[in-house]
Chains A and B, each alone.
Chain A
Amino acid sequence: MITQIFIQSVLAFVMIGFVFNLAALHTWIERKQSALIQDRIGANRAWIVLPWKWAAPINWLLRPFNVLGLFHPIADAIKMFTKEDYVPPKGNKFLHTLAPCLSLFFALIGFAAIPFGNTIEIGGRVINLQVANMNVALLYIFAAASMGVYGVVLAGFSSNNNYAVLGSLRALSQMLSYEIAIGLTVMGIVMIYGSLDLQELVRSQGNYLWGWIPLWGIILQPVGFLTFLAAGIAETKRIPYDAPEGESEIIGYFLEYSGMKFGMFFFTDYLETIMIAALATTLFFGGWQVPYLNETGFQFPWGASIALAPLAVSLLQILSFVLKVLLFCWFLMTIRWTLPRFRYDQILKLGWKYLFPIALANVFVTAIVALVMR
């Protein structure tokens, strides 16, 4: 029992460490990627240079980090922590403090259900590389994701500011319009693989079509993938779906926030981006599956095979999951720096009049095809 708790906490720490570091790195990715897209350099002025003579080799080692601007996340954190923590005098202090915590909490707990590798065997004990192995993982993640909007609503409500209330109202109606679509798009995947357990879903994506095309979700559900991505980006509340923030019209639900409380809202956006990236990987891109890799090693469809130790296989699978998530993060960032913001009514129209019917039709067609194939 104690060992089980220990193992689960280690897994949780690994997952949280990965997610938090990736989210902090997202501030850097965002700056540098937008800079490259717009022919700029990006932030590169937060330098750490030790003043002593004997520290010259350390400075030499720090130099690439300095030049790349990798210390800017640290500078951001210092700034956020040392700024004044302002609560509006007529606002609700308790809810005002609770809101960012709720937002961050619900963005984080979803990651417990994401499998980042197959089972791994250490000392005769089989460890499932998933923080919480539950058979309703998918529903749990969507429940957590939609609870996250409470943080946004409370933020607007407790700030005693009309613009903030407007922002949270927009967030609410936006959530209603895409959450149904996102749930329906995933139903196609669930119907094909017949499970809500994410680990099971990933395992069943290890089969091959005609012996050589990996049967990933994207192959079976291309329309589902596109609608999932369109609705999933809305989940992150970032451009093009950033009507709740809408800096140029209303400042948004976090108008009255400063310091680390604002930082937590900011962090939540990045966490949700990573969540969507991880979900898209798990549902549509085979999760930790590496093409042609099974428990004993690579087995290529043309007959060649490479034998690998079980540990190496596990590491390769974890690496594949991480790479896929990073690739999706890059893609979501590209989308964010490509598209302009949708108007408020355009988001609702997109959610109710396009994504919802398309997702419904997708479920219908999938159901018929699945019935005929059976």
Chain B
Amino acid sequence: MIRTKVVSRPKLSFWERIYFPEIFRGVALTSKHFLKNLTLHLFHSIGLFRKVAAMVTIQYPEELWKLPFRSRTRHRLTKRADGSPRCVACMMCETVCPARCIYIVAEEHPDPNIEKRPKSFDIDLGKCVYCGFCVEACPEDAIRMDTKILDIAAYSREEMMLDMNELLNPSHKSGLK
């Protein structure tokens, strides 16, 4: 048994059917927006009413969108008080990473109280899916995704690799290196 649902078309009133009044309504709406925005732009150009926005556009490279507080952006490695990386090369992030984009090579730490430190810490942004699992997994709060850098682009796959130096000192100027 096929059950069907009959959807009736919306009935147009007489004034909607003859269409002319609807044209006037439409033109009134577009003209309202046009005149409002035109006046606002004119006022803005002489420095008045800057608070009232005349458009919703963000002029992207010059103006950046204010990111939400918890948004996940490019990674960084946090530092200890002496400037060395906080990371202890426990491989938790490398293990949890679903994209397998983290490559850590560990070495012995000169301080006997700390077991290991990373010799190299690379992230391949070409593979990263920005899931934030590495941040969740880290027991030392050594990796965070709060640089607010979003414009990540490069001309080759090699350029998408971030080394430890870049991760410790994230540069806002260029997307990468």
Interface residues of A (CB under 8 A from B): 33, 35-41, 226, 334-335, 337-339
Contacts and interface: CB of A to CB of B under 8 A. Distances in A.
B34 interface: yes
A334 B55 contact: no
24 contacts: A35-B55, A36-B33, A36-B34, A36-B38, A37-B30, A37-B33, A37-B34, A38-B33, A39-B33, A39-B54, A39-B56, A40-B57, A41-B55, A41-B57, A226-B20, A334-B27, A334-B30, A334-B34, A335-B23, A335-B27, A337-B30, A338-B23, A338-B29, A338-B30
A309 B92 CA distance: 91
Contacts of A36: 33-34, 37-38, 41
Contacts of B169: none
Contacts of B34: 33, 36-37, 334
A339 B23 contact: yes
A40 B23 contact: no
A326 to B, nearest CB: 15
Contacts of A335: 23, 27
Given A35-B55, A38-B33, A39-B56, 15 more contacts: A33-B34, A36-B37, A37-B30, A37-B34, A39-B33, A39-B37, A39-B54, A39-B55, A40-B55, A40-B56, A41-B59, A335-B27, A337-B30, A338-B29, A338-B30
B21 interface: no
B27 A338 contact: yes
B77 to A, nearest CB: 37
A28 to B, nearest CB: 14
A339 B23 CA distance: 7
A138 B23 CA distance: 28
Interface of B: 20, 23, 26-27, 29-31, 33-34, 37-38, 41, 54-57, 59
A35 B40 CA distance: 14
Nearest to B23: A339
Contacts of A39: 33, 37, 54-56
Contacts of A35: 55
B35 to A, nearest CB: 9
Contacts of B30: 37, 334, 337-338
Contacts of A33: 34
A226 B20 CA distance: 10
Contacts of B33: 36-39
Nearest to A35: B55
